[in-house]
Amino acid sequence: MSEELKLDKKNFTEWYERVLKYAEVLDDRYPLKGSYVWMPYGFKALKLMLKKIEELLDETGHQDTYFPLLVPISIFKKESDFLKGFGGSTLRITHVGEKSLDEELVMRPTSETVMYYMFSLWIRSWRDLPLKLYQIVPIFRWETKMTKPMLRVREVIKFKEAHTAHATKEEADQQIKEGVEIYSKFYDFLKVPYVVLRTPEWSTFAGALYNYDHVTVMPDGKATELGSVINLGQKFAKAFDIKYLDKNEKKKYVWQTCYGISERALGVVLSLHGDNKGLIFMSKIAPIQIIIIPILTGEKDNEKLIEWAKKLKEELKEYRVKIDTSEDTVGSKFYHWEAKGVPIRIEIGEKEVKEKDVTVVRRDIGKEEIVKETKLKSKLKKLLEEIDENLYKNAEKFFKSMISETETIEEALKILESKKGIVKIPWCGNNSCGKQTEEKLVGEALGINENEKGKGICPVCKNKAKHMLYLGRTY
Amino acid sequence: MSEELKLDKKNFTEWYERVLKYAEVLDDRYPLKGSYVWMPYGFKALKLMLKKIEELLDETGHQDTYFPLLVPISIFKKESDFLKGFGGSTLRITHVGEKSLDEELVMRPTSETVMYYMFSLWIRSWRDLPLKLYQIVPIFRWETKMTKPMLRVREVIKFKEAHTAHATKEEADQQIKEGVEIYSKFYDFLKVPYVVLRTPEWSTFAGALYNYDHVTVMPDGKATELGSVINLGQKFAKAFDIKYLDKNEKKKYVWQTCYGISERALGVVLSLHGDNKGLIFMSKIAPIQIIIIPILTGEKDNEKLIEWAKKLKEELKEYRVKIDTSEDTVGSKFYHWEAKGVPIRIEIGEKEVKEKDVTVVRRDIGKEEIVKETKLKSKLKKLLEEIDENLYKNAEKFFKSMISETETIEEALKILESKKGIVKIPWCGNNSCGKQTEEKLVGEALGINENEKGKGICPVCKNKAKHMLYLGRTY
């Protein structure tokens, strides 16, 4: 591909669209708004990401399961807040071929109703608790909002949703902490900076007591939720009659939590780490970690070069390595694999074969080094770590720079309209004040950071602030 | 669980239902016919099975992708044979919430129409060929037939479908051979005996030139298709306008193949290998390969026992091992893990701790052996292989015994109504004769084994047989 990408990350929407297409992460030409086709390169990254979240859930005692995608409407309607929250964007199935169904079905927008129907059959006594399950499945939310690959879709292809049931409120609260920690570890692994916010009451998940979101800021200054950890309390337990016999033989409703993240996580990593040359994959989810480019001269020595390249690849088999022996020019190969975000490039030429060393180039800062073959393995390990750390450092710097603090609505509005990002504003804790602030800022109240005390006075009621309310504009 | 399962594999339907429920493979109580809930134990086995098919597809150059689940009806209708074949059992989506959709959507019954729309955008020149993709996704076929967990479902949760495009008919034919070989390797791995049959013209896959099925016989004598490898010819290429420029700059339609298998594969393995005690997992897909049961006496030595069990588990960490320290009696533990199909049981008691040896019991034949701790690892490896071979040997013996050969319709009918299984009957090769045979036997013509010549005379037209036609009754 010789065509110049002419990327400019300042025009984020265009950058994102072009780079995903060029790098063959996914194709946005399927004729159904909000549904995308995952190409092998992008899907490989997604699978590597999934592996990590599976590990984190497995090692904390969550068990992997798979529940049906379709929900009979009578079951879907059992919890009224949930129905109110999701009913409007849920796809409804009325016919099979020309025949109408006996009972209408809906496609899960998330699996509460599907799973909790079964929970009511499975949970009998305190011995069955806690129950900690997860599944990785497609879900469908047919929203009318603007769509964007991975970041705002109508078909989430790999929703990672965990659902737990507990004997007591305390255990459920404790589980929320575990859920938050799992997602923190996940985003630490992905080198994505975030803040954990407790969502304000008026935008809590439909049917829930409270929830926490991991939130970051995208290159265009939009705030983005990275995942939700939700304390469902007993509403679903009551709607689905999920009871257990406690040790005193008394019937009690369970306490429930759930938490989910989508492939948005990948969209965010790629957005935060990329630059004007294209993607930069952090090493752990890079479909190709090392690209070897033999500098072919068209001479008879080429065979030797390719042979050595293959030997190197074999030596580096703990990594995901590819050799590019295509007929493109060296320059366009460099350009191509940089745009595809491969973290490390190894160049080998005749000289290198003779001297048994290679040129190693970092994708993130472009630094070149000559490395002896004998030291290559340990060098690569170190370099990949350094690249990941550097990606995080830059992302974190940006993230911090995009969080502003102000005491007045006017100034906050100015920030959200120029620099963008997130603004923190004093808040008395009263819902009506929070909602008013939200409306005035034409933004979304993302929540409060519980590790942070309020400073100053609430700009609405002028009372002393209990919290700092985080607000931003989202996709 | 103390309740006696009272399994009798001769009543296969009952055996199957009871054992899947007891072993917690899946739960059939979700209130939607043909949709099941996969429990952690069963889902683990399914994932291990998926890993193998992924490996086989990856190593033959197929690339993993993910395409949307929903198909706009205008695209779904593009190939008329396909529409005729699948339209009647396809779920249709007309509404989101209370609003009707601009264009009706259908849920993929298989992904030809979804993928080939994209193929027409991707394939431009001979350089883009062959294109070999696969995906593992849920599909929906809302058939009215009887449903049965894994064996006949309406929601296939993990359909493994490969789709390829080629420049010439010869390459497509060659690809069919590769597809058949992949599935043969897969079922060899699973220790499932089969015969590969070429489906007769009149029951070929909707929109295809020809297809091959791997076929086996279930414990109740029903014939079962294990997967289809399909040569689609150019019908879809023409319907979707998938053309490439050949080396002479001439536009040509591609030739296509596709092949798919569902979780039926797991249903079949479990059905064939199990016995009157319950499941027997072949080792490669066993969620637990080794169950360690410390014979606890309630004395202070118990701690030592459990400690040793943990040490053993650690030593055997290349295997999937579990220690049962529950409060059940030893007898009910034996019973429980036998029913769950764990291939090897290790018993340890006080004597064993002292003498550093363990009792190893094979699930398939119940044979007990005392094994020194130092020799345990190599012994287990050998035993697991022996168990797998023995499961295959028994399954193969049964399979062979269920294939009968006869020259007359009368006798064939008798066999299908008493012993059941598959009957081979001489066939002249003429479709009308084949169809008549099929009708008279109230069965399904499964196809011909191309490695086998016809013997005798066609019972319908009395001409010399070209082939032996395989017939059976299916789910």
Spell out which residues of chain B touch residue A75, defining contact as CB-CB under 8 Å. 31
Kindly tell me if the per-residue pLDDT of B2 is higher than 70.
no
Kindly tell me if the per-residue pLDDT of B463 is higher than 80.
yes
Judged by CB atoms closer than 8 Å, whether chains meet at A138 and B69 is answered as yes
In the predicted model, what is the mean pLDDT of residues A238-251? 97
CATH topology of domain B288-383: Rossmann fold (3.40.50)
B25 lies within 8 A of chain A by CB: no
In the predicted model, what is the mean pLDDT of residues A288-301? 88
Q: Give the model's confidence band at B134: pLDDT under 50 very low, under 70 low, under 90 confident, else very high.
A: very high
Judged by CB atoms closer than 8 Å, whether chains meet at B93 and A89 is answered as no
| Closest by Cβ to B94, choosing from A64, A94, A114 | A94
In the predicted model, what is the mean pLDDT of residues B386-409? 98
CATH 3.30.110.30 domain extents, chain A: 403-472
In the predicted model, what is the mean pLDDT of residues A414-432? 96
Distance CA(B306)–CA(B293), nearest Å, equals: 9
Kindly tell me if the per-residue pLDDT of B1 is higher than 50.
no
Kindly tell me if the per-residue pLDDT of B255 is higher than 80.
yes
Query: B12-70+116-273 maps to which CATH number?
Result: 3.30.930.10
For chain A, what percent of residues have pLDDT higher than 70?
A: 99
Per-residue pLDDT of A303-317, as tens digits, reads 889 999 999 999 999
Spell out which residues of chain A touch residue B70, defining contact as CB-CB under 8 Å. 32, 35, 91, 140, 155
For chain B, what percent of residues have pLDDT higher than 70?
A: 99
B142: nearest CA in chain A?
A: A96
CATH 3.30.930.10 domain extents, chain A: 12-273
Kindly tell me if the per-residue pLDDT of B5 is higher than 90.
no
Pick the range with the lowest mean pLDDT from A84-88, A238-242, A344-348, A380-384: A84-88
**DSSP SS3 for B188:** helix
Per-residue pLDDT of B79-125, as tens digits, reads 998 999 999 999 999 999 999 999 999 999 999 999 999 999 999 99
Judged by CB atoms closer than 8 Å, whether chains meet at A92 and B94 is answered as yes
Per-residue pLDDT of A128-161, as tens digits, reads 999 999 999 999 999 988 999 999 999 999 999 9
Residue type, A212: Y
- ipTM (interface predicted TM): 0.95
Spell out which residues of chain A touch residue B31, defining contact as CB-CB under 8 Å. 72, 75, 117
For the segment(s) A288-386, the CATH number from 3.30.1330.10, 3.30.1280.10, 1.10.238.10, 3.40.50.800 is 3.40.50.800
**DSSP SS3 for B422:** strand
Query: How far off is chain A from B328, nearest CA to CA, in Å?
Result: 14
In the predicted model, what is the mean pLDDT of residues B443-461? 96
* Paired tokens of B377: 């690892």
- In degrees and rounded to multiples of 5, residue A42 shows phi and psi of -70, -40
**Strand ranges for A108-154 from DSSP E:** 131-140
pLDDT value of residue A303: 87
Q: In what helix (H) or strand (E) does residue A181 lie, and over which residues does it extend? A: helix A169-189
Kindly tell me if the per-residue pLDDT of B3 is higher than 70.
no
Kindly tell me if the per-residue pLDDT of A1 is higher than 60.
no
Judged by CB atoms closer than 8 Å, whether chains meet at A35 and B68 is answered as yes
Kindly tell me if the per-residue pLDDT of A162 is higher than 50.
yes
Q: Which residue has the tokens 């063959």?
A: A24
Site from A32, A50, A86, A120 to mutate, B interface, most B CB atoms within 10 angstroms: A32
CATH 3.40.50.800 domain extents, chain B: 288-383
Pairing of strands B70-72, A243-245: unpaired
B87 lies within 8 A of chain A by CB: yes
Distance CA(B355)–CA(B353), nearest Å, equals: 6
* Paired tokens of B256: 């296509």
In the predicted model, what is the mean pLDDT of residues A388-396? 98
Please give the order of strands across the beta sheet that includes B344-348.
B321-323, B290-294, B344-348, B357-362, B368-372
Kindly tell me if the per-residue pLDDT of A112 is higher than 50.
yes
Pick the range with the lowest mean pLDDT from A57-71, A294-308, B55-69: A294-308
pLDDT value of residue A206: 83
Distance CA(A392)–CA(A194), nearest Å, equals: 11
Q: Give the model's confidence band at A5: pLDDT under 50 very low, under 70 low, under 90 confident, else very high.
A: confident
**DSSP SS3 for A297:** coil
Distance CA(A151)–CA(B246), nearest Å, equals: 39
B349 lies within 8 A of chain A by CB: no
Distance CA(A207)–CA(A209), nearest Å, equals: 7
Hey, which residues 403-422 in chain B have their CB within 8 Å of chain A? Answer: none
Judged by CB atoms closer than 8 Å, whether chains meet at A64 and B44 is answered as yes
B59 lies within 8 A of chain A by CB: no
Domain B403-472, CATH 3.30.110.30 — does that match? Answer: yes
Per-residue pLDDT of A200-210, as tens digits, reads 999 998 889 99
Query: A12-273 maps to which CATH number?
Result: 3.30.930.10
* Paired tokens of A116: 């909790």
Distance CA(A51)–CA(A161), nearest Å, equals: 14
pLDDT value of residue A299: 72
| Residue among A322, A326, A374 at smallest CA distance from A344 | A322
Per-residue pLDDT of B19-31, as tens digits, reads 999 999 999 999 9
Q: Give the model's confidence band at B215: pLDDT under 50 very low, under 70 low, under 90 confident, else very high.
A: very high
pLDDT value of residue A3: 56
Beta-bridge mates of residue A445 = A471
